[in-house]
Amino acid sequence: MKSRFLTGVSHGIPICLGYLSVSFGFGINAAASGLSTIEASIISASNLTSAGQAAGVGIIAAGGTLLEMILVQLTINIRYALMGLSLSQNLDKKFTTPNRLLASYGITDEIFAVCSAQKQPLTPAYMYGIILISMFGWVTGTFLGASAGHLLPQSISSALGIVLYGMFIAIVVPPARRNKSILFVAAASALLSILFKYVITAVSSGFSVIICAIAAAAAGALLFPVDEEAEE
């Protein structure tokens, strides 16, 4: 039991390091949007997600509606539902309902990627190990970014604003290169997003993301339905 926990911690160390630097950028962005260090840290501890938090902070800063917040989080984070479904197929017997309720908090892109690569059934201890070390990196980075971001020279803190987006690019580009349908979806979504930014400016940025993503993903699903078995 304990060794599975430590295995999880060791598998989570690269994630922790990656999260440290990315969430540092989030902390800076959050502080620049008017949030306090404590608020930014609580957001990171309670959400543990990059894109959803970035969009959420944008809505808070803009004074958006709660409906907008709910719809944006649903759209951006709906992928976690699919990941949860996928992980639920390969769980150890020790995964009782209370364990599932607790571990589901830590389903992120990177944790999902590492967990789904495991051959043996996932144990709660293993997932808690990987989640705990990853969360430590994510919250610490946010705290440092939000609190010390002001202390950095302007040239460095503004350059760090791009870190989170760099990570998004690193997630999208490799599969888009291998898979034409993903390239189509990503390109269509980006084009729509540009359209909403410069042409149809009445739509808020949060709703724009929802509309672009749903339209592009639906078009992709119609034009390039995935094979029954060949799911990546």
Partner 1 sequence: MSTAIYIIVMAGVTYLIRMIPFTFFNKKIKSRFVRSFLKYIPYAVLSAMTIPAIFYSTGDVVTAAVGTVVAVALAFFNCPLIVVALAASLAAFLTGVII
- Subset of residues 113 to 152 that bind partner 1, contact rule: CB under 8 A: none
In the complex, minimum distance from the CB of residue 130 to partner 1, in angstroms, rounded to a whole number? 15
In the complex, minimum distance from the CB of residue 93 to partner 1, in angstroms, rounded to a whole number? 14
In whole angstroms, how large is the CA radius of gyration of the chain? 19
3-state SS of the chain? Answer: CHHHHHHHHHHHHHHHHHHHHHHHHHHHHHHHCCCCHHHHHHHHHHHCCHHHHHHHHHHHHHCCCHHHHHHHHHHHHHHHHHHHHHHHHHECCCCCHHHHHHHHHHCCHHHHHHHHCCCCCECHHHHHHHHHHHHHHHHHHHHHHHHHCCCCCHHHHHHHCCHHHHHHHHHHHHHHHHCHHHHHHHHHHHHHHHHHHHCCCCCCHHHHHHHHHHHHHHHHHHHCCCCCCCCC
Q: Pick from 7, 18, 94, 136 the residue near partner 1 by CB under 8 A.
A: 18
CB nearer partner 1, residue 120 or residue 154? 154
CB nearer partner 1, residue 2 or residue 231? 231
Residue 59 found at the interface with partner 1 (CB under 8 A)? yes
What SS3 class is residue 118? Answer: coil
- Dist. CA 70–CA 47, nearest whole Å: 13
Q: Which stretch binds partner 1 (CB under 8 A): 3-11, 21-29, 128-136, 143-151?
A: 21-29
Q: Pick from 8, 9, 27, 76 the residue near partner 1 by CB under 8 A.
A: 76
In the complex, minimum distance from the CB of residue 125 to partner 1, in angstroms, rounded to a whole number? 17
Q: Pick from 7, 90, 104, 204 the residue near partner 1 by CB under 8 A.
A: 104
Q: Which of residues 181-200 bind partner 1 (CB under 8 A)?
A: 181-182, 185-190, 192-194, 197-198
- Dist. CA 10–CA 4, nearest whole Å: 10
Q: Which of residues 29-48 bind partner 1 (CB under 8 A)?
A: 35, 39, 42-43, 46-47
CB nearer partner 1, residue 2 or residue 153? 153
CB nearer partner 1, residue 2 or residue 93? 93
CB nearer partner 1, residue 3 or residue 187? 187
CB nearer partner 1, residue 7 or residue 184? 184
Give the binding-site size for partner 1 (rule: CB under 8 A): 102
Residue 145 parent element (H or E): helix 124-148
Q: Pick from 1, 2, 93, 101 the residue near partner 1 by CB under 8 A.
A: 101
